[in-house]
Chain A
């Protein structure tokens, strides 16, 4: 015997004829046929919009990254070329100054010495720029040695060698001479010689 629950659950009764007419009329009037398509197209629209946004963001980030790299490379190339020019200039300038100091006649050195400030005349030590631009404290005697490192006079082989080496370092230095470096050094040295 069929359980009453199943009987009621599976109970069927033919619906009145006019119900379908009413449903069909409502379907036609409200044009609900378009609703699923509309919903589907809405979902499709949102999905497409989301996908498009992702693609745009992706391309934008890639473009920005690429531009950044390009800019960095460009900047790097520019900086290195500028540095190379600066270095070349610096070396050339150093060399010119040192060569002029070393090979100029002693009279000219005296002329230079005459322009030295009075306050520097009696200083025991001088602070000059070293080969790498660092402040170096040297005595006036050492300054004299550097000045006459061209072996013209007085002959001091050990110091001369050392100072020649320093000269080489300074010639290859990338630091441009300043008012506080080698010119000052030469002037100080010349001045002390005059005093002696």
Chain B
């Protein structure tokens, strides 16, 4: 006979349990997704304090909105979207996106981005965190999360052209950072 205490609840069990207000299920849901979502928070936020605030607000929103989850996509994707939106809301209160002129996308070659692939994830995170919040949001949403410029424009309340401009400038800044840092050269980093 299987031990009930070792039973790992499925996502459906977790969702149902949280909707029913089961504190144990709420804690288990947090434990299952907290590391991933904290990673998202750190990518979007300027510092750990903001990331902690977004983490707290994001999970409260998740618990409150669980009844709306229709299982049309992955549960993790749904939670991730809540955290991205919470991060954006958090920064919208503090940060105003720079007004930039529209420029052509992909001013940086893909080979430049391939340099990033050779870096360790913590170095990547440090480099991205050096971007201004506006650039970081657009870069994260487009390059990492795969949002289209149209979606970014709708979420951030900017035009598609502005989104493209922000991304182009973000890439330009990244290039400069990589060139300036010793981590940009994996060979140097390994010495």
Contacts and interface: CB of A to CB of B under 8 A. Distances in A.
B59 interface: yes
Contact of A14 (B38, B56, B145): B38
B21 A23 contact: no
B156 interface: no
Contacts of B35: 12-15
Given A13-B38, A36-B67, A4 B116 contact: yes
Nearest to B40: A11
Interface in B1-55: 19, 21, 23, 26-27, 30, 34-39, 42-43, 52, 55
Interface of B: 19, 21, 23, 26-27, 30, 34-39, 42-43, 52, 55-56, 59-60, 63-64, 66-67, 113, 116-119, 121, 124-125, 128, 140, 143-145
Contacts, number: 86
Interface of A: 1-5, 7-16, 19-20, 22-24, 26-27, 30, 32-37, 39-40
B64 A35 contact: yes
Given A7-B121, A24-B27, A34-B21, 8 more contacts: A8-B43, A8-B144, A13-B38, A15-B34, A19-B56, A24-B23, A27-B23, A36-B19
A110 B75 CA distance: 114
Given A13-B39, A20-B27, A27-B63, A33 B21 contact: yes
B63 A12 contact: no
Contacts of B143: 5
A8 B117 contact: no
Shortest beta-carbon contacts, A-B, top 10: A33-B21, A36-B67, A12-B35, A11-B39, A4-B116, A15-B38, A4-B117, A7-B121, A15-B34, A12-B39
Contacts of B144: 5, 8-9
Contact of B60 (A1, A27, A36): A27
